[in-house]
Amino acid sequence: MESVLAAVTGILYATGLYMLLRRSVVKLIIGLGLLSNGSNLLIFTMGRLVRGRPPIVPEGESSVPLPYADPLPQALILTAIVISFGVLAFALVLIHRAYRAVGTDDLDDLKTTDT
């Protein structure tokens, strides 16, 4: 299962980077979304995948028997998802405003502030 998720993570990073390199601003945003999803999935996989073993101390024992499902990566991902959701929502409004101001979604036409 880990190898499948590792492959999926790799595909998400690769497609995300490919989208970032496109000229369209919309594809740029899609790329950012894919990239952040890729890193979320990476954190999930790095926490080791364990099924059906919640980290709860059984009665009469003092520690959780190994292996158990690590809840921390899931908490991290939850935080990261919320943050990336907010940021992407902002980015969408930003490109919409930029599109209305500039009239194009081609990044090559957005060079007036470059040096």
Partner 1 sequence: MGLVLPILIPLTTAIAALFAWRWRRWQRRLGLAGAIALLAASVTLLMQVWRQGSQALWMGNWPAPFGIALIADLLSAIMVVLAATIGVAVVLFSLAHMDPAREAFGYYPLVHILLMGVCGAFLTGDLFNLYVWFEVMLMASFVLLALGGERAQLEGAIKYVTLNLMASALFLTAVGLLYGLVGTLNMADIAQRVRATAPSGAKTAIAFLLLTAFGIKAAIFPLFFWLPASYHTPPVAVSAIFAGLLTKVGVYALLRVFTLIFTEDGHALILILSGLTMLTGVLGALAQNEFRRILSFHIISQIGYMIMGLGLLTTAGLAGSIFYIIHHIIVKTNLFLTSGLAHAVHGSFDLSRLGGLYRTHPGLAVLFLIPALSLAGLPPLSGFFAKLLLIRAGLQVGQWAIVAIALGVSLLTLLSMMKIWTEAFWKPKADDPPLVAPSPAIARPVPSGVLATHWGIVSSAGLAFLTVGIGLGAEFVLALAEAAAEQLRNPDLYISTMFRGRS
**Are residues 69 and 53 in contact, defined by beta-carbon separation less than 8 angstroms?**
yes
Q: What is the CA radius of gyration of the chain?
A: 20
Q: Residue 94 and residue 101: Cα distance in Å, rounded?
A: 10
Token pair, residue 6, equals: 């590792």
49 is a contact residue toward partner 1 (CB under 8 A)? no
Which amino acid appears at position 27 of this protein? K
- Inter-helix orientation angle 2-20/25-46, to 10°: 160
8 is a contact residue toward partner 1 (CB under 8 A)? no
Footprint on residues 61-100 left by partner 1 (CB under 8 A)? 72-73, 76, 79-80, 83, 86-87, 90-91, 94-95, 97-98
In whole angstroms, the minimum distance from the beta carbon of 85 to partner 1 comes to: 11
Distance of CA 44 to the CA centre of its chain: 11
42 is a contact residue toward partner 1 (CB under 8 A)? yes
26 is a contact residue toward partner 1 (CB under 8 A)? no
Q: Report the interface residues with partner 1, using CB under 8 A.
A: 16, 20, 25, 28, 32, 35-36, 38-40, 42-43, 45-48, 72-73, 76, 79-80, 83, 86-87, 90-91, 94-95, 97-98, 101-102, 107, 110-115
